[in-house]
């Protein structure tokens, strides 16, 4: 067990390093922060001074090692735009993002999983077809399209809800629904196929043959097995709680981490972008680790493999 | 026929309008061992899945299956749940996938004890240990808490049998119980079933494609072909004097373990597809003695004495598959 | 006569378990097996799952290289797997295994699949290949119109015939059949067994026939090897081996076969299950389950003894023939 955990943690750390390195390289290659932040018309001496101040005049590998050295000391750099610590800027925005992503996550799981189970239990029925049609619509329509439609209907036409901003809890309703429906569609489809796979297994027939009433077969025998693959996708959704709202926050001008990221990328505000990516990588990796550990809890065959 | 435990009459099953069973008549007496042999798709398994209501809802089932005086077809789910695993238990071919991989084996046996005998808690655990011991699982006190994947296929099948015994059934339906197992393990499981029958007096329906297994275990044997029972007789009589050309063909197609080697007498052709059944006897297109009469309609099953019934217009023609007597020339 | 194929003391060792840092354990799937196959004859290999019979078949074909010992085909060592000479040699040695649907490409017609080996090995011109495909179809008992069909349009037995036709396309000298009829129904099994006998008589192809079904193996074989836990425990003329098995394991295996009409034969029911090859018992690997085991069996690995009837038996009882229980 200890060895298993050690390997897992090692891999997680490696993943984070690779993500950060990749982000570092792409950002350095994609434009000059000095020009982006000051303006293309700024005097060359001012640009040179800016580059010197932020260490951008150094060779890229020097920048890279300095950057990692700083991270190792817990120093994530300052925003090039307003000089405040990047981590502070990011942390400020997290509550706003969670205000959208947590209710959306609850909506995804609360709607997607039961819908998928019902669809599987009544395969090829009207319920199944209706659920699957909605699910396919839910995850094929891009969230910016769905968001705009919702805004047109509920904000512009009916005037029931605000179209953007963060004035009250009512402003969160449309973005939460936008995110939740897409995720619920993905989850419903996934749960359905996991459930169908399990329902076709011989041990389900064995349970029926020994006289277990059907509702108990579903609860006691099918669901615990179908949960094993479903947990993976739920885990990914947990991992995207921080960064999953980039598009939706932009559509609804919601001042969360996603919006901060869009602005920071536009400005080539390297420290802020890297800080967000590091945070995202950490939550993703943490979610993956949790999924792996949950596998062990849910599936005795995995437990055996680990020890 | 008042001592029948289960009486099946005119049982028909169709999947999406395609018939899989075309009128099965079968009796199982109290404590009797009945074998059903036939090739895949001939209906031997579907008969019992239909009888116990284990087919998907899309299957159309007709006819009658009575247990004692109770009609099982169309019975409410609660009644069927009480019968399944209670008075009639059924076990299947692949023991490894027949057990739920996420539950400990003890829990799976205790579930049956709770449902059918109302035993729970420590008493259920003690009884589960006793059942594991009865089916020959070594060290049951420790084994009760392991998961199915921690055991071999043969041991899984023993656990499945223990689970079936939990409800103290009057009839055990075993569908190809040893097909997935190795020869020496098959012998162990057949031995176990024989011993359990002697200990409990339960009836056994053994479904198998292996004529040898059925001959060895059963008092009476039915031969299924294309959704019907074409011949039924006491086991010794059936194998000594098969009356249906299909049964005779199956026996002649089997290689032997001793005596001179001969060329196998293969039945020509193959089983008709369920959506393209011949108008009369389903075996007629492959039958060496078929005549125009055979295409008139499905031949009725009639008694030819001593509990021997056959659905053939020209029963009991020894040496139908004459090629059987030609010596084989494989020797170098 | 010089054997077509000779396995001389071949072993195959796998490392199992262990991950990145674990050592795992060594499993001898095949342990010092010596066998030979004469041209045009059939060697049957029987045993239970995990006894190494399939691995032996793969070693015989050179699909895997042995860790010890040597495999010689036509008195020359087998080239290393994956090399050009090895690929050229595949013409002469073919494999047929249990699942015909898995062995066929669902998208290609039967004729295209049978012609494939001819294309690969550049045999014949276009019209010659067509003639050959037609002849092969006839040999395996498929109708000419089935050439244009796809695998899913055929029954299980017909698919296995198509697989055999493809294996025979290059006119191989050796065919290794691993459980070729296990997935087929009884009446179809007999058809395929007869067809194999006919093909062997007509073409003189040698067969290695691997199966758990003793009755079928006796039917087709000129020579039979019984394997247990990676070793050949008994080998000889099938009529002698199956009528008067010398090794206690062979005796148990044969007595476990239920035969219609031979009810209530005295049956030897072995206790326990074949041990894990990673955890091989000391001495004779069969001794923990052997009804006739002696103290010596736990300590000493039995050598192979040749009996007067030509059989080879690896059992301490065979060393003093009078003690063999008949």
Considering only CB atoms, C263 lies closest to which of B182, B215, B331, namely B215
Same domain for A234 and A133, yes or no, is yes
Considering only CB atoms, B81 lies closest to which of A211, A298, A304, namely A211
Can you give the pLDDT at residue C271?
Answer: 85
Residue of B nearest to C142 (CA): B269
Domain count, chain C: 2
Alpha-carbon distance values, A101 to A94, A178, C232 (Å) = 10, 11, 65
Q: How many Cβ atoms are within 10 Å of C112's Cβ, its own excluded? A: 15
Same domain for B99 and B204, yes or no, is yes
pLDDT tens digit string along A62-89? 888 887 788 777 777 777 777 788 888 8
Task: Report CB contact under 8 Å: B255, C216.
Answer: yes
Domain count, chain A: 2
In this prediction, residue C24 has a pLDDT band, given cuts at 50, 70 and 90, of low
pLDDT at B254 over 70: yes
In a domain, C100, yes or no: no
Chain B nearest C-alpha distance from A202 (Å)? 5
Same domain for C33 and C88, yes or no, is yes
CB distance C36 to C55 below 8 Å: no
Span C47-69, average pLDDT:
91
In this prediction, residue A149 has a pLDDT band, given cuts at 50, 70 and 90, of confident
Residue A29's domain spans which residues? 2-72
Same domain for C261 and C316, yes or no, is yes
In a domain, A78, yes or no: no
Same domain for A214 and A134, yes or no, is yes
In a domain, B178, yes or no: yes
In this prediction, residue B326 has a pLDDT band, given cuts at 50, 70 and 90, of very low
Same domain for A169 and A275, yes or no, is yes
Same domain for A241 and A145, yes or no, is yes
pLDDT tens digit string along B160-203? 999 999 999 999 999 999 988 888 899 999 999 999 999 999 99
Can you give the pLDDT at residue A32?
Answer: 73
What CA–CA distance (Å, rounded) separates A189 from A271? 39
Same domain for B67 and B177, yes or no, is yes
Q: Identify the three-state secondary structure at position A126.
A: helix
Can you give the pLDDT at residue C144?
Answer: 85
CB distance C154 to C110 below 8 Å: yes
Same domain for C85 and C198, yes or no, is yes
What CA–CA distance (Å, rounded) separates C36 from C65? 17
Task: Report CB contact under 8 Å: A212, B81.
Answer: yes
Task: Report CB contact under 8 Å: C243, B258.
Answer: yes
In a domain, B119, yes or no: no
What CA–CA distance (Å, rounded) separates A110 from A118? 13
Same domain for A182 and A58, yes or no, is no
Can you give the pLDDT at residue B227?
Answer: 93
pLDDT at C245 over 80: yes
In this prediction, residue B324 has a pLDDT band, given cuts at 50, 70 and 90, of very low
In a domain, B133, yes or no: no
Span C64-70, average pLDDT:
91
pLDDT at B116 over 90: yes
Bridge partners of A142, per DSSP, are: none
A242's CB contacts (< 8 A; 6+ apart) are A94, A97, A98, A101, A257, A279, A280, A283
Can you give the pLDDT at residue A97?
Answer: 87
- Please give the angle made by the CA atoms of A154, A157 and A161, to the nearest 5 degrees: 30
pLDDT tens digit string along C177-224? 998 888 788 888 898 899 999 999 999 999 999 999 999 999 999 999
Q: Identify the three-state secondary structure at position C212.
A: coil
Same domain for A92 and A58, yes or no, is no
Give the neighbours of chain A: at least 3 Cβ pairs within 8 Å.
B, C
pLDDT at A209 over 60: yes
Can you give the pLDDT at residue C188?
Answer: 85
In a domain, B91, yes or no: yes
pLDDT tens digit string along B33-44? 999 999 888 999
Same domain for A65 and A138, yes or no, is no
Same domain for B170 and B209, yes or no, is yes
In this prediction, residue C21 has a pLDDT band, given cuts at 50, 70 and 90, of very low
Same domain for A153 and A232, yes or no, is yes
Domain count, chain B: 2
Same domain for C43 and C127, yes or no, is no
Q: What is the DSSP string of A167-225?
A: SSTHHHHHHHHHHHHHHHHHHHHHHHHHHHHHHTSHHHHHHHHTT--HHHIIIIIIHHH
In a domain, A203, yes or no: yes
Window 212-251 of A, Cβ < 8 Å to B: 212-214, 220-221, 224-225, 228
pLDDT tens digit string along B87-105? 999 999 888 899 999 999 9
Instruction: Identify which has the larger pLDDT, B94 or B324.
Output: B94
What CA–CA distance (Å, rounded) separates A146 from A175? 10
pLDDT tens digit string along A174-208? 888 888 888 889 899 999 999 999 999 999 999 99
pLDDT tens digit string along C103-142? 888 889 999 999 988 888 888 888 888 888 999 998 888 8
In a domain, C87, yes or no: yes
Same domain for A188 and A269, yes or no, is yes
In a domain, A241, yes or no: yes
Same domain for C186 and C159, yes or no, is no
Same domain for C268 and C182, yes or no, is yes
Residue C276's domain spans which residues? 5-16+25-92+172-323
Can you give the pLDDT at residue A144?
Answer: 80
Chain C nearest C-alpha distance from B286 (Å)? 11
Of B105, B94, B109, nearest to B147 by C-alpha is B105
Q: What is the mean pLDDT of chain C?
A: 87
Total beta-carbon pairs less than 8 A apart between chain A and chain B? 82
In this prediction, residue C14 has a pLDDT band, given cuts at 50, 70 and 90, of confident
ipTM above 0.90, yes or no: no
Considering only CB atoms, C257 lies closest to which of B209, B212, B249, namely B212
Same domain for B200 and B251, yes or no, is no
Domain of B182, CATH number, reads 3.40.50.300
Q: What is the mean pLDDT of chain A?
A: 83
In a domain, B232, yes or no: no
Can you give the pLDDT at residue B332?
Answer: 32
Total beta-carbon pairs less than 8 A apart between chain B and chain C? 133
Residues of C in contact with B255 (CB under 8 A): 190, 193, 215-216, 218-219
pLDDT at B1 over 50: no
Same domain for C197 and C83, yes or no, is yes
Can you give the pLDDT at residue C20?
Answer: 45
In a domain, B129, yes or no: no
In a domain, B237, yes or no: no
Same domain for C241 and C278, yes or no, is yes
Domain of A136, CATH number, reads 1.10.3720.10
Residues of B in contact with A224 (CB under 8 A): 100, 102-103
Same domain for A148 and A294, yes or no, is yes
Can you give the pLDDT at residue A183?
Answer: 86
pLDDT tens digit string along A221-263? 999 999 988 988 888 888 777 777 788 888 888 888 888 888 8
What CA–CA distance (Å, rounded) separates A67 from A70? 5
pLDDT at A99 over 70: yes
pLDDT tens digit string along A125-138? 888 998 898 888 88
Can you give the pLDDT at residue A18?
Answer: 86
Per cent of chain B over pLDDT 90 is 67
Same domain for A140 and A215, yes or no, is yes
Same domain for B75 and B199, yes or no, is yes
Same domain for B14 and B92, yes or no, is yes
Range of weakest confidence among A22-36, A142-156, C94-108: A22-36
Same domain for B161 and B304, yes or no, is no
Say yes or no: B235 contacts chain C, CB-CB below 8 A. yes
Residues of B in contact with C201 (CB under 8 A): 329
Can you give the pLDDT at residue B322?
Answer: 47
Same domain for B190 and B255, yes or no, is no
Can you give the pLDDT at residue C278?
Answer: 81
Of B100, B114, B94, B54, nearest to A222 by C-alpha is B100
In a domain, A57, yes or no: yes
Same domain for C142 and C241, yes or no, is no
In a domain, C218, yes or no: yes
In a domain, C101, yes or no: no
Residue B193's domain spans which residues? 4-104+152-224
């Amino acid at each position: 067990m200890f060895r298993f955990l050690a390997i897992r943690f090692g891999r997680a750390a490696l993943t984070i390093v690779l993500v950060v390195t990749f982000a570092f390289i792409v950002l350095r290659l994609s434009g000059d922060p000095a020009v982006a932040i000051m303006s293309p018309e700024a005097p060359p001496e001012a640009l040179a001074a800016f580059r010197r101040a932020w260490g951008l005049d150094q060779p890229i590998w020097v920048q890279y090692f300095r950057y990692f050295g700083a991270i190792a000391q817990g120093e994530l750099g300052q925003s090039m735009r307003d000089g405040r610590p990047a981590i502070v800027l990011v942390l400020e925005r997290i509550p706003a993002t969670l205000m959208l992503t947590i209710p959306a996550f609850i909506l995804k799981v609360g709607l997607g999983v039961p819908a998928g189970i019902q669809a599987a239990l009544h395969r090829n029925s009207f319920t199944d077809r209706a659920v699957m049609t909605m699910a396919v619509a839910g995850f094929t329509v891009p969230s910016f399209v769905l968001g705009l439609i919702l805004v047109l209907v509920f904000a512009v036409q009916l005037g029931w809800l605000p179209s953007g901003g963060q004035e009250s809890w009512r402003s969160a309703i449309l973005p939460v629904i936008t995110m939740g429906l897409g995720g619920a569609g993905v989850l419903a489809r996934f749960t359905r196929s996991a459930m169908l796979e399990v329902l076709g297994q011989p041990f389900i027939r064995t349970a029926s043959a020994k006289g277990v009433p059907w509702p108990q077969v579903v609860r006691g025998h099918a669901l615990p097995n179908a949960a094993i693959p479903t947990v993976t996708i739920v885990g990914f959704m947990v991992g995207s709680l921080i960064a999953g709202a980039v598009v939706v926050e932009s559509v609804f001008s919601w001042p969360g981490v996603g919006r901060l990221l869009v602005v920071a990328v536009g400005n080539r505000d390297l420290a802020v972008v890297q800080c967000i990516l590091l945070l995202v990588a950490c939550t993703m990796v943490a979610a993956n680790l949790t999924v792996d550990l949950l596998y062990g809890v849910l599936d005795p065959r995995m437990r055996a493999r680990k020890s | 026929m008042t001592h029948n435990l289960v009486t099946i009459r005119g049982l028909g099953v169709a999947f999406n309008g395609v018939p899989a069973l075309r009128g099965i008549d079968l009796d199982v007496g109290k404590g009797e061992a009945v074998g059903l042999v036939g090739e895949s798709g001939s209906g031997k398994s579907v008969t019992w899945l239909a009888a116990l209501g284990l087919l998907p809802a899309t299957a159309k089932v007709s006819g009658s299956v009575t247990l004692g005086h109770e009609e099982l077809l169309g019975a409410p789910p609660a009644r069927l749940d009480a019968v399944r695993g209670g008075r009639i238990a059924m076990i299947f071919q692949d023991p490894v996938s027949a057990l739920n991989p996420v539950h400990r084996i003890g829990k799976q046996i205790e579930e049956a004890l709770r449902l059918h005998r109302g035993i729970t808690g420590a008493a259920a655990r003690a009884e589960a240990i006793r059942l594991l011991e009865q089916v020959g699982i070594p060290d049951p006190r420790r084994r009760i808490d392991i998961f199915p994947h921690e055991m071999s296929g043969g041991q899984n099948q023993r656990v499945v049998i223990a689970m079936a015994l939990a409800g103290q059934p009057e009839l055990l339906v075993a569908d190809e119980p040893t097909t997935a197992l190795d020869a020496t393990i098959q012998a162990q499981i057949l031995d176990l079933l024989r011993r359990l029958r002697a200990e409990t007096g339960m009836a056994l329906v053994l479904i198998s494609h292996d004529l040898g297994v059925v001959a060895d275990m059963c008092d009476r044997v039915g031969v299924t072909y294309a959704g019907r029972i074409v011949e039924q007789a006491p086991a010794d009589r059936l194998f000594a004097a098969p009356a249906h050309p299909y049964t005779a063909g199956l026996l002649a197609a089997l290689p032997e373990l001793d005596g001179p080697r001969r060329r196998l007498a293969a039945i020509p052709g193959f089983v008709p597809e369920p959506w393209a059944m011949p108008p009369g006897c389903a075996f007629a297109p492959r039958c060496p003695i078929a005549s125009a009469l055979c295409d008139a309609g499905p031949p009725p099953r009639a008694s030819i004495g001593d509990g021997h019934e056959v659905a053939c217009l020209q029963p009991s023609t020894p040496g139908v598959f004459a090629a059987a007597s030609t010596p084989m020339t494989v020797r170098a | 006569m010089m054997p077509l194929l000779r396995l001389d003391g071949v072993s195959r060792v796998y490392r199992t378990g262990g991950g990145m840092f674990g050592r795992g354990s060594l499993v001898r799937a095949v342990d010092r097996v010596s066998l030979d196959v004469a041209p045009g004859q059939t060697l049957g290999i029987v045993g239970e799952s995990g006894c190494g019979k399939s691995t032996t078949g793969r070693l015989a074909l050179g699909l895997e290289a042995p860790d010890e010992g040597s495999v010689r085909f036509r008195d020359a060592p087998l080239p290393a797997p994956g090399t050009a000479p090895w690929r050229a040699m595949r013409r002469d040695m073919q494999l047929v295994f249990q699942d015909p649907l898995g062995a066929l490409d669902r998208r290609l017609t039967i004729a295209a699949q049978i012609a494939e080996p001819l294309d690969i090995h550049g045999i014949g011109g276009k019209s010659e290949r067509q003639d050959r495909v037609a002849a092969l179809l006839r040999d395996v008992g498929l109708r000419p119109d089935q050439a244009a069909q796809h695998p899913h349009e055929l029954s299980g037995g017909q698919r296995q015939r198509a697989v055999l036709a493809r294996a025979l396309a290059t006119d191989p000298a050796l065919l290794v059949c691993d459980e070729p009829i296990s997935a087929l129904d009884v009446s179809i099994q007999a058809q395929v067994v007869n067809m194999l006998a006919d093909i062997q008589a007509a073409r003189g192809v040698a067969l290695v026939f691997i199966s758990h079904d003793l009755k079928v193996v006796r039917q087709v074989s000129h020579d039979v090897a019984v394997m247990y836990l990676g070793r050949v425990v008994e080998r000889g003329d099938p009529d002698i081996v199956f009528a008067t098995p010398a090794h206690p394991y062979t005796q148990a295996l044969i007595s476990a076969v239920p035969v219609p009409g031979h009810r209530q034969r005295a049956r030897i029911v072995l206790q326990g299950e074949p041990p894990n090859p990673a955890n091989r018992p000391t001495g004779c690997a069969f001794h923990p389950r052997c009804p006739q085991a002696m103290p010596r069996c736990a300590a000493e690995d039995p050598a192979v003894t040749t009996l007067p009837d030509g059989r080879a038996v690896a059992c301490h009882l065979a060393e003093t023939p009078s003690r063999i229980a008949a």
